[in-house]
Chain A
Amino acid sequence: MTFQQPKINTSPHVSDEVRKTTCYMCACRCGINVHMKDGKVAYIEGNRDHPVNQGVLCAKGSAGIMQVNAPSRLRKPLKRVGERGSGEFQEIEWDEALQIATDWLAPIRKDDPSKLAFFTGRDQSQSFTSFFAQNFGTPNYAAHGGFCSVNMAAAGIYTMGGAFWEFGQPDWDHTKLFMLFGVAEDHDSNPIKMGIGKIKARGARVIGVNPIRTGYNAVADDWVGITPGTDGLFILSLVHCLMKAGKIDVNYLAQFTNAPCLINGDEKSPEYGLLLRDENGKELVIDRATGKLTPFDQKGVKPDLTATHRHAGISHRTVMQHMAERYLSDEYAPEAVADRVGISAKRIRTLAAEIARVAFDEAFELQQEWTDFRGETHKTMQGRPVSFHSMRGISAHANGFQTCRALHVLQILLGTVEVPGGFRFKPPYPKPATAHPKPHCGVSPDKPLDGPHLGFVHGPDDLALKEDGTPARIDKAFSWENPMSAHGLMHMVISNAYAGDPYKIDTLFMYMANMSWNSSMNTRGVIDMLTDKDDNGDYVIPRIIYSDAYSSEMVAYADLILPDTTYLERHDCISLLDRPICEADAAADAIRWPVIEPDRDVRGFQSVLCELGAKLGLPGFTNEDGSQKYADYGDYIVNHERKPGIGPLAGWRMGEDGLTNGRGGVNESQLDNYIDNGGFWVGHIPDEALYYKPWNSAYQDWAVGMGLFDSPQPYLFTLYVEPMRRFQLAAEGHGDRQPPDHLRERIKATMDPLPIWYDPSPDNHGDDYPITALTQRPMAMYHSWGSQNAWLRQLHGHNPLYLPTKLMRENNLQDGDWAKVTSPHGEITVPVLEMAALNENTVWTWNAIGKRKGAWALDENAPEATKGFLLNHLIHELLPPKGDGLRWANSDPITGQAAWFDLKVRIEKAKAPSESQPAMEPIKSPVGKGPMQLTWKVGK
């Protein structure tokens, strides 16, 4: 019998319409094509024209359809009617919800705006939320950077005027060696995957430095399974090897960095250790041509790296000399560090040699003329094809700032930043720390704050302190405890508010921040703080307002819930004022727009702030007649101007002769212009401005035209970070603003203006708890909100604790056994699984898979709620007590970054319990449970 092949339709109808918007599953912000059928979302794919993802899309992005139809979506504003934590709510109308919020917030603003603490979690509208907080007048505002990766951001900006995060990228088209430190998945999620694919296709090498060999490290050509927390020591050993071999870019260092700048060598001077400057504040160098002291930026100057300036019997030496003295020391020789970093001396040398080989033997030039800030024209662009990327892994340690600094110093010594083949900034970076705002904390009743909350300090004068020297902010950001805390310390807000240290607050207002679960250290303790009452029977933290789109664990702990929309039901702008979607070759920004309307009584949180701001009479949110200024967030995006001609979106602004980009007036059709263009705008950087941006006149001029700066801002990379020295000087007794005595020695030791490494493990009782415990998010869930996604939870519904072979054997453990894991703070009992490709003294698990029973519309028997667990129970927001009665934050002493990855534990085999321990009681769900079965086909 001959088989008759069926005829099938190979050209079926795909969709009625494609609506192009921006994904919101993570900080990557890819362009997406949302295919619509019958007015419903039928399929989501990447937008090929989009600068970020060029058509590709990760698992989260493709699973967006399950995020939009999730049963855990909140449906209506909620007012708490039971005790906090009971989950007893009453659904209310929006009018009532907004009136309650107004009645709580208006008196605070009138008397003392600092009684409001307003913090946002996975927010991507910080320029807007901070605008609200600033108008309200509270100093207590930040987003989640402080508990995420502020070390990486702050070290990058203080050192080179730009950071990794999503703010820069390797030169994927030219790099030949790509080295990743502590990156599992990243903000630049799809671009890194695309980049790795691209460079591997042409045979370039990837080196992964990470205690865990998963994801990018699994495909790395070489894996360096470093001991957690020792990256800084390893990097400084690479620096030692490279300097000793002369494998540094001498010309680059002399021209573009503060290596030739002179350091005041007068031990008796209050400026000892600061840079010599002229009367205009310009750093001074010795010109090799004339031998004279001269400002660094003069035409024709050839800065001398080795000069010494003798004056009044004092020798002032260059930064380079100080670096040679420190890093050539045997203290940093591979043999001296090998045991601590867990990498053999021979391997350290080999890695250093490979870096040297590629940076110098494979150097190349692009035939592109450019002119530097001194007015010198270069015929070509020198390329050094070694690039680095790093993120939370090296950042979330108490030594993270100095470690991140060390990595940037390594990049700069090699001359691989902003050069072909190296690491490149994306607009609005490069932008030196000095071009950022300073923190503001000037509070007046009934008035806005005196300036932006967050910024970059340059010495004790910039700290956010009250007149009595105590911290002005509830999170103690920009205080002597952590002076350079550029992103605030969200992880300390509840703990400090509960302790009344530095003061009590009235209302805690949070957005997308799961503080009663995986976003807090010491989860159980935080829950207790949220529910504890004082002697009068009042909650210690009197009022909590919370906005979220989903039934997260935090919902039960708020008094008023403002339900947010999903990402396809809202306006947003991914703005140059904030965290845009730029590429190294282009400025770019994007919008989200409601490609579907909510089928619930929910409102975009930012639109709610527009209304709430007006009800409170905040000046930025009201017209002169007192009426509401912005109807909603979309209206704000179009009509708000930060200063004349500069708004949230840079594309399609109104110029004198029609539409223009960058600077320009309000264009009422701007959102339509974005929608017509696929939801984004791109403005390309001219060819002669593509590299050497901090020093490239063509780039500086382009950036001014675009509105990124008001005037050209060329600067030197700061191998030596002078602001840190100013804090040391204060600790040594100089100046009026003095640290408390108990912090003096720590400031002197940690605020070294050249990178150092110190061991955080003694503070975490590393002798008694010798194993480091880490977490990472799976790629399919990185930075996403909620693992209740029906498709993604089938990929990552379980999170065993992965143990290296050695620890499995030592503890007589088999796959599926249970172990008790103990830290100085607490203990958990969890299932274990062996993993061989893992540092032998490290254990890890997937973060935030564990869910509380009753949350996220999951069944109470869901594996996330029974076998899933959080390491957070083992981590305290404070270090173990030192016996001095003081509360020492478990944070980097420089930036306040939460030191998640300093967690030290012990492990022992345990009898299998019925569920992971601690098992917490269920919370009542405000949304019920999800359906049993899904057959999600929207087309006929």
Chain B
Amino acid sequence: MTTLPEKTERKLGLVIDLDTCVGCHACVISCKGWNTENYGAPLSDTDAYGSDPSGTFLNRVHSYEVQPSQGEAQLIHFPKSCLHCEDAPCVTVCPTGASYKRVEDGIVLVNESDCIGCGLCAWACPYGAREMDAVEKVMKKCTLCVDRIYNENLPEEDREPACVRTCPAGARHFGDFADPESNVSKLTAERGGMDLMPEQGTKPVNKYLPPRPKDTLSEGAGDIDILAPYLEPVAQEATGFLGWLDKTLEKL
């Protein structure tokens, strides 16, 4: 049993915008690349060119189809990595103290040298955000790029998680949720940022911005009648149209 800090000084995490995530997996691979080369054991791939390739990924994008009661079906891309919960059950369940939540910034990490690979934390995480590395037999998880965000060997502008730096659609944002003036706090407030599965009581730090309402120009949606006057005909046939054109040219 490992204890959580009563309070962290900062609450670092991600805002992920489900309205703009196009599901391109850029974040997935950038994360794979950085974290294979950096913090802890490399993220391995087994049967890499075989029938059942399986690798360790700290961030994955899932896609879900949503069928609203009215209107067209939708496809939502849902990137998922550790949410760095305030009440992280993966930490309290750890028998060795390998899993811990940092007091200074709230990042949940695994100290690989203390990890015995028992897998309890992965069972405890309701989000499925931890992956056991098949080669190293240690638990791997999102570090929020703790080896980037403070790294004095990187230019200051690059001190953000690899997934945020690479996201082409700008759907990922990094910051301190303890600061109400931070970019992530403001985005969350403006766009109704949501907790993932709040009923689990884990108090996730990461927030998701919901997709904006879709298909408002569809049959049965509100915008349709408001727009009708824009197509008020200037003429019914070619001759009348040319007359209108002539008058319009005259006014120019």
Contact = CB atoms under 8 A, between A and B. Distances in A.
Q: Do A and B come from one complex?
A: yes
- Best-buried of B57, B73, B234 by chain A (most CB within 10 Å): B73
Contact of A862 (B25, B51, B242, B246): B51
B170 A791 contact: no
A430 interface: no
A312 interface: no
A197 B170 contact: yes
Interface in A831-870: 835-838, 857-859, 861-863, 866
B152 to A, nearest CB: 4
A3 B72 contact: no
B200 interface: no
Interface string B53-75: 11101000000010100001111
Contacts of B57: 794
Interface stretch (B42-50, B81-89, B121-129): B42-50
Nearest to B214: A221
B22 A42 contact: no
Nearest to B109: A8
Interface in B83-100: 97, 100
Given A59-B28, A215-B23, A354-B223, A190 B168 contact: yes
B22 A219 contact: yes
Given A244-B234, A321-B242, A324-B241, A218 B49 contact: no
B168 A325 contact: no
Interface in B168-221: 168-171, 211-212, 214-219
B252 A251 contact: yes
A485 to B, nearest CB: 33
Interface size classification for chain A: 35 or more
Interface string B146-168: 11011111100110001001111
A914 to B, nearest CB: 13
Contacts of A859: 47, 49-51
Contacts of B53: 790, 793-794, 797
A62 B231 contact: no
A870 B209 CA distance: 38
A745 B229 CA distance: 43
A9 B228 CA distance: 63
B32 A14 contact: no
A541 interface: no
Given A57-B26, A196-B169, A215-B23, A3 B100 contact: yes
Contacts of B55: 790-791, 794, 934
Interface string A853-891: 000011101110010000000000000000000000000
B91 to A, nearest CB: 9
A304 interface: yes
Interface residues of B, number: 100
Contact of B49 (A246, A347, A790): A790
A57 B72 CA distance: 31
A221 to B, nearest CB: 6
Given A246-B234, A328-B241, A349-B231, A14 B153 contact: yes
> Main SS of the interface on chain B?
loop
Given A780-B29, A794-B53, A56 B166 contact: yes
B156 to A, nearest CB: 12
Contact of A197 (B20, B77, B245): B20
A13 B146 CA distance: 13
Contact of B217 (A42, A243, A354, A837): A354
B217 A10 contact: no
A855 to B, nearest CB: 11
A350 B170 contact: no
A350 B217 contact: yes
Contact of B23 (A325, A344, A779): A779
20 contacts: A1-B3, A8-B109, A11-B152, A59-B26, A197-B170, A197-B171, A215-B22, A218-B77, A346-B219, A347-B219, A349-B231, A350-B227, A353-B229, A357-B230, A780-B24, A791-B45, A859-B51, A861-B51, A935-B36, A937-B42
Given A55-B166, A219-B20, A350-B223, 14 more contacts: A12-B153, A56-B26, A197-B168, A197-B171, A215-B22, A247-B230, A254-B249, A328-B235, A347-B217, A353-B228, A354-B230, A790-B49, A859-B50, A933-B135
Interface of B: 2-3, 19-26, 28-30, 32-34, 36-39, 41-42, 44-55, 57, 65, 67, 72-77, 97, 100, 102-103, 109, 111, 114, 135-136, 146-147, 149-154, 157-158, 162, 165-171, 211-212, 214-219, 223-224, 227-238, 241-242, 244-246, 248-249, 252
List the 4 shortest-distance A-B pairs measured between CB atoms, nearest first.
A930-B49, A836-B73, A193-B168, A197-B170
